[in-house]
Amino acid sequence: MKKILASLFLAAVACGCLVSCNEKPKHYQFVKVTTDGQELVEEITAKNDTDALKLYLDRMEKILVENMDKPDQQQYKVMYIISPSGDTLNTNEQLLQSIVIPTATAQ
């Protein structure tokens, strides 16, 4: 009886590991609202919310750097990222701090 329970437990743990290792990437929406009110939506694929927010910050930084020399001609009024569950990730302060603080201390 003990051997059967032990083998069932090990099988359950192994199945759990296999399922968690084979997570499918999720699709996020990177929304950019132009100064004329038009919404441009780009799909971003990431493993989880943290990776999606890192991609968002990288793309936002590139857009801001490209437009730095043209402050009077800003293309976008607002930029944000939406998770598959409908959450706006860039307003999640705890998630932002988990990304920004380790990056700042590494430099």
Instruction: For residue 6, give the H/E element and its range.
Output: helix 2-21
- Residue-wise pLDDT tens digits, 6-19: 666 666 666 665 55
Locate the DSSP E strands across the chain.
Answer: 26-34, 39-46, 76-82
- Residue-wise pLDDT tens digits, 41-85: 999 999 988 888 888 888 888 888 887 787 677 788 888 888 888
Alpha-carbon span 76 to 73, nearest angstrom: 9
State how far the alpha carbon of 71 is from the alpha carbons of 56, 58, 67, 75, in Å: 21, 20, 7, 10
Strands 76-82 and 26-34: antiparallel
pTM for the complete prediction?
0.64
3-state secondary structure of 85: coil
